[in-house]
Amino acid sequence: MNKVVYFDNNATTCIAPEVVEAMMPFFGELYGNPSSMHAFGGQVATHLKKAREGAAAFLNCDPDEILFTSCATESDNTAIRGTADFYGKDTKVITTAVEHPAVLQSARRLKAQGHTEIELPVNGVGQIDLDQLRAELKGTKHALVSVMWANNETGTVFPIEKVTEIAKEYGAIMHTDAVQVAGKVPIDVKKVPVDLLAISGHKFHAPKGVGLLYVRKGTKLKPFMLGGHQESARRAGTENVPYIVGLAKACELATAHMADEARALTPLRDKLEAGILATCPNVRVNGDRDNRLPNTLNVSFEYIEGEAIAYHLSDLGICISTGSACASGSLDPSHVIRAMGVPFTAVHGSIRFSLSRYNTMEEVDYVLKELPPVIKNLRDLSPFGPGKGPTTFA
């Protein structure tokens, strides 16, 4: 395969060259343990401190509110289960039906353990009813609200400021999975006063295997990992210094590129969307088209399977996804697409395009050239569709 068009950046991104360069010394001469008392390790601790300060600047918070983790999945688990462990069975967990599995499965485990757990439904564009959130919060003693900032499959951006305001009104703890907005939308935890916020480095050009959890001062949280004093005794284990340094560098680059990246990506996404709608019949755009990330497009092609589309595009060097990368091994339709009430004829034919600052208009043109014949060929082979047989099922 000579040509690769990578449109799966919500799953993972390439590591920026500047990030690789920043990490390299910590694989070589700067290999000391930052917890060591000697100067050789102490110099590494200095770099760790600077990385923490860089990550804090990215979120506009204090450095001691940054908890480095291995990824956002760990951060989400720490936030949700750590809060419930602290407050006990009185904790009511309120989340949404379209969260990442790291949030949904953590919340459902708490339900199995005796906690009250509510998954707010979404409407046809993937947005929750804020009045329903208020109703669920009334009369609660201890509540944890976990609502993602932006959906990983559709790019729908939630009104996180309003959600946080409502949570605070009822004294609830507010957690948000901000994985998909990091590097795309400014995050300021002083303007949006969430208590807990998770991001993952590999979603914005840092390496896989590093993330962070923002923990607002005063937030009660039991440690998720035990066995050491690291991260102010909140997460045991020797810090992954090279990757933490890489994460901090990615934060710096994201801050520098964010506005320009949004201006560049929106026309690419919009041309891709318009081209698909113009050349492929029986297709629908999923999500909130008025409130979404500039890089994400999710579409459903009726009467065919998204997996088949992905396989055929892969043969042409085009990398896309049928949903969350964490659920790619499942043949079940996306829980996000199902929650929005997408018709049965289209729910299995959903695919996601997600772009980054390294993508080009020429790549969009290549996809628009190759995609329509793939869709036509698959539809010709399909036993379903107009005039071919049943298109709805009981």
Q: What is the pLDDT of residues 67-121, one digit of tens each?
A: 999 999 999 999 999 999 999 988 999 999 999 999 999 999 999 999 999 999 9
Residue 372 has pLDDT above 80, yes or no: yes
> 228 pLDDT band (50/70/90 cuts)?
confident
Confidence of residue 392 (pLDDT cuts 50, 70, 90): very low
Helix (H) / strand (E) element for 144: namely strand 142-146
CB of 279 closer than 8 Å to CB of 368 = yes
Is the CB of residue 318 less than 8 Å from the CB of residue 272? Answer: no
Closest CA to 32 of 20, 19, 48, 21: 48
Q: CA–CA separation, 131 vs 330, rounded Å?
A: 34
What type of residue is 64?
Answer: D
Grade residue 387 by pLDDT with cuts at 50, 70 and 90: low
Give the residue from 262, 248, 65, 45 showing the smallest Cα distance to 150.
Answer: 262
Transcribe 69-83 into DSSP letters: ES-HHHHHHHHHHHH
CA neighbours closer than 13 Å in the CB half-sphere of residue 40: 6
Distance, CA of 381 to CA of 354 (rounded, Å): 28
Record the tokens describing residue 222, joined without a space. Answer: 């039991």
Sheet holding 283-286, edge to edge: 283-286, 296-301, 350-354
Mean pLDDT in residue range 41-55: 95
Higher pLDDT, 387 or 5: 5
The C-alpha atoms of residue 367 and residue 120 are separated, in whole angstroms, by 36
Count CA atoms closer than 13 A to 237's CA, side-chain side. Answer: 12
pTM tops 0.85, yes or no: yes
User: What is the pLDDT at residue 381?
Assistant: 87
- % of the chain residues with pLDDT over 90: 85
CB 166 within 8 A of CB 133: yes
Span 236-241, average pLDDT:
90
Q: Is 319 a catalytic residue?
A: no
| Pairing outcome for strands 211-215 and 283-286 | unpaired
315: which residues sit within 8 A by CB, 6+ positions away? none
CA separation for the pair 306, 338 (Å, rounded): 14
Catalytic annotation, pick one of 14, 71, 319, 326 = 326
